[in-house]
Amino acid sequence: MSSNPSASRPNPDHATWLKGPEYPCDLPGPGPRRPWHIVLLGPPGVGKGTQADLIVQTFGACQLSTGEIFRNAIAAGLDRASPAMRQALVEMQRGALVPDDLVVEIVRERLRCLSCTQGFLLDGFPRTRSQAEALDGILAEAGTTLDAAVNFMANDAEIITRISGRRVCRACKATINLDISPPRIAGVCDKCGGALFQRDDDKPEVVRNRLVAYHATAKPVLDFYRSKGLLHEIPVGNTPLDTFEKTHKVLLAV
Asked if 110 is an active-site residue, the reply is: no
Q: Active site residue: 19, 110, 162, 166, which one?
A: 166
Choice among 48, 110, 129, 246 that is catalytic: 48
For 237, counting Cβ atoms within 10 Å of its Cβ (0-12 exposed, 13-18 middle, 19+ buried), the class is middle
Catalytic residue, chosen from 19, 127, 129, 162, is 127
Verify whether residue 33 is a known catalytic residue.
Answer: no
Give, in order, the Cα–Cα distances in Å from 237 to each of 152, 158, 170, 246, 252: 10, 11, 30, 9, 19
Q: What is the dihedral of CA 48, 52, 54, 60, to 10 degrees?
A: 170
**Neighbouring residues of 164: CB distance < 8 A, sequence distance ≥ 6:** 198, 202, 203, 204, 207
Indicate which residue of 33, 112, 199, 203 is catalytic. Answer: 199
210 as an active site residue: the answer is yes
Look up residue 32 and give its DSSP letter.
-
**Residue 48 falls in the annotated catalytic set:** yes
Phi, psi of 183 (to 5 degrees): -70, 155
Cα torsion through 136, 141, 27, 67, rounded to 10: -40
Catalytically annotated residue among 9, 86, 108, 210 = 210
SS3 of residue 176 by DSSP: strand
Residues in the chain, overall count = 254
Residues identified as active-site: 48, 127, 166, 199, 210
